[in-house]
């Protein structure tokens, strides 16, 4: 329901900064619930300052359209990363997949316990942890983005229990069953993302959204080691525990998931790092030349500091 554009922010004395501009799609921009959610997302993420979360700099209004100025991540999203592997016939190294999820769970651990300026817990649940919302920079950073359908106290328009929020093949069972969610829903989605990276396909994906949701709720979990030879038992155990249908049997916090992954990655010594991911990205994309952009051909232009019209 939103669009993201690359843009160039200009300042005095030749200052230039590459940024991302996020707007609501035109067909949704006049609907109050979408505008409220967009403003709520901006207010929510404004104070989420974390190295594994895409930062938001500014909420503005121009041409009867709200927009957000966000950190530009020079790289690809995780879906593009996986598609590149399929195109080349490569398997994603299991340790690298686990590293990406450890950074993802690090971002979620921060967001889940975040408090507002009055020190009140916001109760954030992302609810849309999926490959398109996970950015990998050519510098080796892993960043979570798009809190547009997140749940947070008093900030977001939500009909939880009445509508399904999120992509059908990455939902938690409780989302698929229209139950009220808590941070453990995001942990299940992390497990789906990790399984897809390791296996090369999403084991829950069906031919229709309804089939995908039924698979998430009912399908027996595969033996991941049989589908990916060489997968360590420790990573198989993490996948199984992350993907428990009963949320009481999952990892109870994203921090717990992160620590379990890091024990596996670093117990034998030097494991994956941002620098190793950056080196891998250079090989995967041949120094990233295919994704270099000409900043002189920007698709959108905004004044970055107008005030909302008072009669809107």
Which residues are marked as active site? Answer: 128
The enclosing H or E element of 104 equals helix 94-112
Give, as one character, the DSSP assignment of residue 121. Answer: B
Q: Nearest to residue 75, comparing CAs of 137, 161, 167?
A: 137
* Secondary structure class of 17 (helix, strand, coil): strand
Neighbours of 2 (CB within 10 A): 17
Segment 42-51 long-range contacts (CB within 8 Å, at least 24 positions apart): 42/66, 42/68, 43/155, 44/122, 44/124, 44/147, 44/150, 44/152, 44/155, 44/156, 45/147, 47/114, 47/116, 47/117, 48/110, 48/111, 48/114, 48/147, 50/106, 50/107, 50/110, 50/111, 51/141, 51/143
Q: Are 196 and 239 in contact (CB under 8 A)?
A: no
CA 289 to chain centre: 24
DSSP string, 132-187: GGEEEETTS-EEE---TT-B-TTTS---BTTB--S-GGG--HHHHTTPPP-THHHH
Give, as one character, the DSSP assignment of residue 249. Answer: G
């Amino acid at each position: 329901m939103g669009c993201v554009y690359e843009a160039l922010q200009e300042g005095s004395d030749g200052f230039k900064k590459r940024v991302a501009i996020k707007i609501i799609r035109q067909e949704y921009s006049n609907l109050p619930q979408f505008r409220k959610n967009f403003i709520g997302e901006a207010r929510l993420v404004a104070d989420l300052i974390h190295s594994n979360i895409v930062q938001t700099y500014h909420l503005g209004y121009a041409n009867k359209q709200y927009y957000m100025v966000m950190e530009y991540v020079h790289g690809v999203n995780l879906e593009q990363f996986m598609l590149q592997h399929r195109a080349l016939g490569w398997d994603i190294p299991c340790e690298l997949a686990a590293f990406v999820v450890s950074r993802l769970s690090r971002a979620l651990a921060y967001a889940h316990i975040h408090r507002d300026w009055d020190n009140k817990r916001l109760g954030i649940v992302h609810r849309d942890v999926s490959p398109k919302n996970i950015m990998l920079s050519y510098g080796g950073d892993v960043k979570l983005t798009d809190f547009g359908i997140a749940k947070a106290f008093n900030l977001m328009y939500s009909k939880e229990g009445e509508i399904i929020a999120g992509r059908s093949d990455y939902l938690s069972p409780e989302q698929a069953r229209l139950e009220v969610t808590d941070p453990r829903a995001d942990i299940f989605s992390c497990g789906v993302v990790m399984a897809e990276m390791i296996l090369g396909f999403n084991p829950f994906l069906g031919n229709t959204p309804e089939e995908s949701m039924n698979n998430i709720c009912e399908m027996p979990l595969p033996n991941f080691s049989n589908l990916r030879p060489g997968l360590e038992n420790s990573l198989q155990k993490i996948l199984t525990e992350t993907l428990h249908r009963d949320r009481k049997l999952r990892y109870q916090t994203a921090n717990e998931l992160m620590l379990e992954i890091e024990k596996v990655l670093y117990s034998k010594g030097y494991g994956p790092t941002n620098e190793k991911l950056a080196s891998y990205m250079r090989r995967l994309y041949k120094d990233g030349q295919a994704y270099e952009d000409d900043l002189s051909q920007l698709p959108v232009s905004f004044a970055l500091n107008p005030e909302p019209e008072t009669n809107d």
